[in-house]
Amino acid sequence: MLTRENMASAKRFVVKVGTSTLTHHTGKLNFYRIEKLIRELSDLANQGKEIILVTSGAVGAGVDRLGLKEKPKTIPEKQAAAAVGQGILMHTYEKLFAEYGQTVAQVLLTREDSVKHKRYINSRNTLLTLLKMGVIPVINENDAVSVDELKIGDNDTLSAMVATIVDADLLIILSDVEGVYTENPQKNPEAKLISVISEVTPEVEALAGGAGSLLGTGGMFTKMQAAKIAVNSGVTMVIASGARDGVVRDILSGSDIGTIFPSKECHLQVRKSWLAFGARIAGAVTVDKGCEQAILDGGSSLLAAGILSVEGDFEHGNTIRVLNKDGREFARGLANYTSDEIRKIKGRHTNDIVQILGSKSYDEVIHRDNLVLMA
């Protein structure tokens, strides 16, 4: 497990930089800060580190070039701004990285690249091949063609997905804040920075507010969601201020800056990573305490006998959440039966399924090989 003490051992890491870090308060690109970050990442690449940069800022760059006074509110306007801004942003990265001897590749992703298993694997193979070739992938969500149904949601979540896809050791999210505070530091100057968050509990999530700046979309809430994805996939995550000079180097040296979320013990297998964080969730089942313990402690499959209730309408093969009696998700996986079928067999013994449904394709509602723990 990666901690501050052994942070220097991180070989492969993802750096996510937000719009607020890349731009001035006017909305125009902050070339001074961008150049410093690129010089720092290039130097780390020269040390043999494998780096992926996840960047926001395409819409912001487009807003500036188009002379708009504020960020567009409609999807078509955002897409138009992104279409203009992506070229500007990528040209800036390519030019500055080249000055330090680095080759970059633009990779645009949508939620479909994580929802569909084949595309998830294709994304993984492409990114790993680029890293093997010594290329620094520069990734953004494909804002120019995405709509709400296809969007991953924000680049915090995107960066966590990317870190999961490539089995990164570390995810660094650079923001306009130093990390997670006990209270909102903008409202309470006495708020204290939290150095380590070992688990993203509901109490920790409650510390998160809404969206961030005028030009950015992410707030601390989206970073908390990114942390849950990262740490459960075996990736340590750090939130730190992108305004700090040498911030990435300092994090890798083990300096006590920002907020660190230490990962769980090991990386999920690629297929289980997709099940946990790539696949679209179609519904949920709530189970009793005995079933919960059997899955968590004994690695059991999910059987009909332990199911109390069913939420949503889903088909065989869809990914569903598994909730305990308190409503907390502790697992998710691929359903062997439809929601209607599960409603009929919930609470019943496996031997009763044939009598109830007329046939039995599986003993398990979710087989343990298709089940991943989220606790």
Which of 366, 373, 367, 372 shows the shortest CA–CA distance to 342? 366
Least Cα distance to 42 among 82, 109, 95, 91 occurs for 95
Q: Under DSSP, is residue 361 helix (H, G, I), strand (E, B) or coil?
A: coil
Q: At what angle do helices 220-232 and 155-165 cross, to 10 degrees?
A: 10
pTM reported for the whole predicted model:
0.75
Strands 170-175 and 259-261: unpaired
pLDDT tens for each residue of the chain, 375 residues long = 788 999 999 999 999 998 888 888 877 889 999 999 999 999 999 999 999 999 988 888 888 889 888 778 888 888 888 889 889 999 999 999 999 999 999 998 876 666 566 677 778 889 999 999 999 999 987 655 554 443 444 688 889 889 988 889 999 999 988 999 888 777 888 889 999 999 888 888 887 754 343 333 347 888 988 998 888 888 999 999 999 999 999 999 999 999 999 987 666 665 566 666 767 889 999 999 999 999 998 789 999 999 999 999 999 888 899 999 999 999 998 899 999 999 999 999 999 999 999 999 899 999 887 888 886
100 Rama sector, left if φ>0, alpha if ψ -120 to 50, beta otherwise:
alpha
How far apart (Å, rounded) are the C-alpha atoms in residues 237 and 198? Answer: 11
Q: Which two tokens stand for residue 297?
A: 């402690």
The closest of 227, 142, 213, 139 to 175, measured between CA atoms, is: 213
Query: Is the separation of the CB atoms in 22 and 57 below 8 Å?
Result: yes
Mean pLDDT over the full length of the chain: 86
Distance CA 334, CA 317 (A): 5
d(CA 211, CA 67): 24
Instruction: For residue 62, give the 3-state DSSP assignment.
Output: helix
DSSP state of 370: G
- Domains for the chain: give ranges and CATH numbers: 7-272 (3.40.1160.10), 280-373 (2.30.130.10)
Q: Of 281, 282, 333, 326, which is closest to residue 308 (Cα–Cα)?
A: 326
| Residue 264, token pair as written in the block | 């769980």
Question: Contact 11/49 with Cβ under 8 angstroms?
Answer: yes
CA distances from 13 to 104, 122, 137, 162, 193 (A): 15, 19, 11, 10, 24
